[in-house]
Amino acid sequence: MWFSKSIEDVLKEINVDASSGLSENEAKVRLEKYGANQLLSKKKKNIFQLFVAQLQEWLIYILLAAVVITLFMGEYIDAIIILLVIITNAVLGVIQEVKAGKAIEALQKMSFPKALVRRNGEVKEINSHEVVPGDILILDAGRFISADIRLIESANLQIEESALTGESVPAEKDASQIHIELKTSLGDRMNMAFMSTLVTSGRGVGVVVETGMNTEVGKIANLINTEKKEKTPLEIRLDKLGKTLGMFAIGICVLIFVIALLQGRDLAEMFILSVSLAVAAIPEGLAAIVAVVLSIGVTGMSKRKAVIKKLPAVETLGSVNIICSDKTGTLTQNKMTVKTYFNLEGEIAVERNSQNSATEDAKLLAKAMILSSDATYENGQGTGDPTEIALLLLGDDLGIDRKKLTVQAIRTSELSFDSDRKLMSTLCEENEKLTVYTKGAIGNLIKISTQVLENGKVIPMTEAHKKRYLDATEKMSDSALRTLGVAYKPVDSIIEGAEMEKDLILIGLVGMIDPPRAEVKESIQKAKLAGITTIMITGDHKNTAFAIARELGMAESIEQAITGEELDDFSDEELTEKIVNYRVFARVSPEHKVKIVHALKSHDNIVSMTGDGVNDAPSLNAADIGVAMGITGTDVAKAASDMILMDDNFATIVSAIEQGRNIYSNIKKSVIFLLTCNLGEVIAMFVTLLIGLQAPLIATQLLWINLITDSFPAIALGMDPGNPDVMKEKPRDAKESFFAGGAGFHLILGGMLIGALTIAAFWFGYYEHGYSPFDNTAPENTVENARTMAFMTLVMCQLFFSLAVRNHSKSIFQIGIFSNKYLVGAIILGVLLQLIVISVPFMQRAFHLQMLDLEGWIIAISLGLIPLLVNEIVKIFIRARIKRANV
Q: Which residues are catalytic?
A: 326
- Separation CA 205–CA 151 (nearest Å): 6
Strand partners, 153: 205
Q: 563 forms bridges with which residues in the sheet?
A: 586
List phi, psi (to 5°) of 324.
-95, 120
> Crossing angle for the helix pair 267-281 and 58-73, nearest 10 degrees?
150
Residue 577, Cα to own-chain centre: how many angstroms?
Answer: 25
CA 770 to chain centre: 65
DSSP annotation of 710 reads T
The H or E element containing residue 882 is: helix 854-886
> Exposed (0-12), middle (13-18) or buried (19+): which is 851, by Cβ within 10 Å?
middle
Dihedrals phi, psi of 75, to nearest 5 degrees = -90, 75
Question: CA-to-CA distance for 326 and 737, rounded, in angstroms?
Answer: 33
User: What CA–CA distance (Å, rounded) separates 129 from 131?
Assistant: 6
Q: Which helix (H) or strand (E) holds 11?
A: helix 7-14
Which residue from 629, 632, 626, 613 is spatially nearest to 107, judged by alpha carbons?
613
| Calpha distance 412→775 (Å, rounded) | 113
Asked if 172 and 420 count as a contact pair (C-beta separation under 8 A), the reply is: no
363 phi and psi angles, rounded to 5 deg = -65, -35
* Residue 497 Ramachandran class (φ > 0 left, ψ -120 to 50 alpha, else beta): left
Closest CA to 638 of 3, 106, 86, 8: 106
Q: What are phi and psi of 282, to 5 degrees?
A: -105, 125
CA pair distance 198, 162, nearest whole angstrom? 10
Strand partners, 506: 452, 487
User: Residues near 456 by Cβ (< 8 Å), separated by ≥ 6?
Assistant: 359, 360, 361
Distance CA 85, CA 396 (A): 63
C-alpha span between 762 and 27 (Å, rounded): 87
How far apart, in whole angstroms, are the C-alpha atoms of residue 282 and residue 266? 25
Q: Are strands 584-586 and 533-537 parallel, antiparallel or unpaired?
A: parallel
Alpha carbon distances (Å) from 551 to 506, 518, 528, 581 = 31, 11, 15, 19
Residue 738 near residue 238 (C-beta atoms within 8 A) = no
Tally the C-alpha atoms within 13 A of residue 390's C-alpha that lie toward its C-beta: 26
Beta-ladder partners of 644: 307, 628
Q: Residue 284 CA to chain centroid, in angstroms?
A: 32
By three-state DSSP, how is residue 562 classified?
strand
Residue closest to 781 by CA, chosen among 842, 846, 840, 848 = 848
Name the residue type at position 74: G
Cα separation, 359 vs 456, in Å, equals 9
- Listed as own residue / partner, the contacts of 555-559 with beta carbons closer than 8 Å and 24 or more positions apart are 555/583, 555/584
Sign (positive/negative) of CA torsion 641, 647, 650, 653? negative
| Three-class secondary structure assignment of 17-35 | CCCCCECHHHHHHHHHHHC
Inter-residue contact 688 to 319 (CB < 8 Å):
no
